[in-house]
Structure 1
């Protein structure tokens, strides 16, 4: 049936909202759904005392601490509850679940190497009050090899009531994979697509605050409308049933994307590979939308 949508579950309300979104996504794409709970090192027993280990030596993902029955039972209960919720939401989807032990971000990132997408809640049980985005979600979005969807916003945004997907378009090749993902989501969701390109001018702000890392002054030679036309030519033609709207904005990209997302079911942004390093470069714009978006955000790594 294809590679699965993977959703991280931790027993939090945000995690259950992610399960709902992931179940709907699995239905839309007719792929399996895999629920993963990661018991973190501070929940594991100290090798000598048997008490929870707050010093947390390295723990291998997948190693079950057989001496701590309570941790195992709690983890199994979290997966069972999430599975019940997913089955009620999507009774026809092929479901599976597993418990891993170790660092949550590393474990989930590893599962993303063979995933259609990784879906996470905006905050987990262990996050401090007042945080806008959980530390695990941010770390996974910055490191995963597959699209990462952080489920945010109210029920009207999470339940696809707007009939609109928004995608951010950069000047250059950095948005190609994100655009393909956004078009595919719009097509299976039978909704429209809004492509947004924002550019700061001498009067609207400094280009370095919103442009990609390889921005040069020559990029300003193309008009914002031309940037959108060039990006959509080809990919848009392959999805003729998706109605595409173009929005060229003079101003900061973060504000333009957040404004467009106020009437969207999903906001899609691209993520570039770091030069000379493993992992992704989220940048200021992606950090901003991950923390403040009114709807779910998909971070799609550039291939």
Structure 2
């Protein structure tokens, strides 16, 4: 059985929209969904009496059941399981992501419900997961209404392959175009410099045309900083795909300034893909 798509469920509008995007990918790629709610409040550690614990557990299980029924109403053939874990939300998602195709999380949660705010659960998951992480904001459109363009950030360094591959695979399954964006953060004043940047971008895209011949590609070298160029491109994009290098000696990804800026300011969902060290 293929690895499932894990979705963080907390009852917020952001989580429901994340579920929309996760279910859409699951259908397109024939994957299962695993809906996860993590909460220390349901831990059987003696801090709460069994009598007081039962309604807390029932409340959270009802939340997961509601999310499952919502997804099945739209996609009746989906295979969906639910898991309630006695862990902090971010840790629960990271643990479930160890054998997952992807973890999907809303950019913000319910402030009064475990205090799920972007910068805690979203960033924790993106920084510690060993699989790709999709961050979806409440303002994101339904997947069917998203712009038919996927933007992939290309650094022009070894390790771009994983993010580029994900972008092309998604574009092929969605019938979308690719904007391969290489931002250099300064005016390209010398012809030789321009040739070098063109070569780096071409090298990053090498082989993709043959493997995905039906995906239109538009290479773009921008003199904006990577953060500026990607955030601006997100205004007309359906998805931003970025790589993040695996952290040496520990699990998870090393999120840099560009990753942080795009996660906080992008106008569309953002997919963070782990790359080689």
Answer yes or no: same fold by TM over 0.5.
yes
Give how far 1:11 is off.
0.8
Q: For 1:245-283, what per-residue CA distance to the aligned partner results, in whole angstroms no more than 9, with x for missing partners?
A: 111001210110111111111100000123454431110
| Cα separation, 2, equivalents of 1:146 and 1:298 | 11
Q: Quick one: distance in 1 between partners of 2:118 and 2:197?
A: 31
Change (3 A) 1:233 1:69: same
Distance 1:46 1:4, change over 3 A: closer
Mapped contact 2:240–2:269 kept (Cα < 8 A): yes
Q: Is the 8 A contact 1:271 1:301 kept in 2?
A: yes
Please, which of 70, 76, 95 is the counterpart of residue 110 of structure 1? 95
Aligned counterpart, 1:33:
33
Asked whether 1:281 is paired with 2:254, we answer yes
Alignment-derived partner of residue 134 in structure 2 = 149
1:15-53, Cα deviation, whole Å (9 max, x unpaired): 1111111111111111111111112x25657725x37xx
What CA RMSD, in Å, does the superposition of the two structures yield over aligned residues?
2.3
Partner of 2:165: 180
Higher helix share: 2
Aligned to 1:231: 204
State the alpha-carbon separation in 2 of the partners of residues 18 and 233 from structure 1: 32
Task: Report the alpha carbon displacement of residue 149 of structure 1 after superposing the two structures with TM.
Answer: 0.1
Instruction: Name the SS of the counterpart of 1:112 in structure 2.
Output: helix
Rate the CA distance shift 1:171–1:153 in 2: closer, same or farther, 3 A. farther
1:47 maps to 2:20: no
Runs of 4+ in 1 over 6 A off after TM superposition: none
Cα separation, partners in 2 of 1:194 and 1:127, compared to 1, 3 Å: farther
Question: Cα–Cα, structure 1 residues 185 and 160, in superposed 2: closer, same or farther, change >3 Å?
Answer: farther
Gaps of 5+ in 2: none
Contact 2:42/2:86 (8 A) holds in 1: no
Aligned partners of 2:51, 2:175: CA distance in 1, in Å? Answer: 48
Q: Tell me the secondary structure at the aligned position of residue 280 of structure 1.
A: coil
1:261 paired to 2:246: no
Return 5+ residue gaps in structure 1 as ranges. Answer: 52-64, 205-219
Greater CA drift, 235-244 or 153-162: 153-162
What SS does the aligned partner of 1:34 have?
Answer: strand
DSSP-derived class of the 1:225 partner: helix
- SS of 2:231 mapped into structure 1: helix
Task: Measure the CA separation in 2 of the matches of 1:3 and 1:276.
Answer: 24
C-alpha distance in 2 between matches for 1:184 and 1:287 = 24
Residue matched to 1:18: 18
The alignment partner of 1:98 has SS state of: strand
Q: Do the aligned partners of residues 238 and 153 (structure 1) sit closer, same or farther apart at CA in structure 2, a change above 3 Å counting?
A: farther
Q: For 1:125 and 1:154, how far apart are their aligned partners in 2?
A: 15
Report if aligned partners of 2:7, 2:22 keep a CA contact under 8 Å in 1.
yes
Q: How many residues align?
A: 270
Change (3 A) 1:262 1:157: farther
Pick closer, same or farther for the CA change 1:167–1:144 going to 2, 3 Å: same
State the TM-score, normalizing by the size of structure 2: 0.89
Q: 1:248 aligns with which of 204, 221, 225?
A: 221
Correspondence 1:270 to 2:255? no
1:104 positional shift = 1.6
Q: Is residue 146 of structure 2 the alignment partner of residue 161 of structure 1?
A: yes
User: TM-score of the superposition, structure 1-length normalised?
Assistant: 0.82
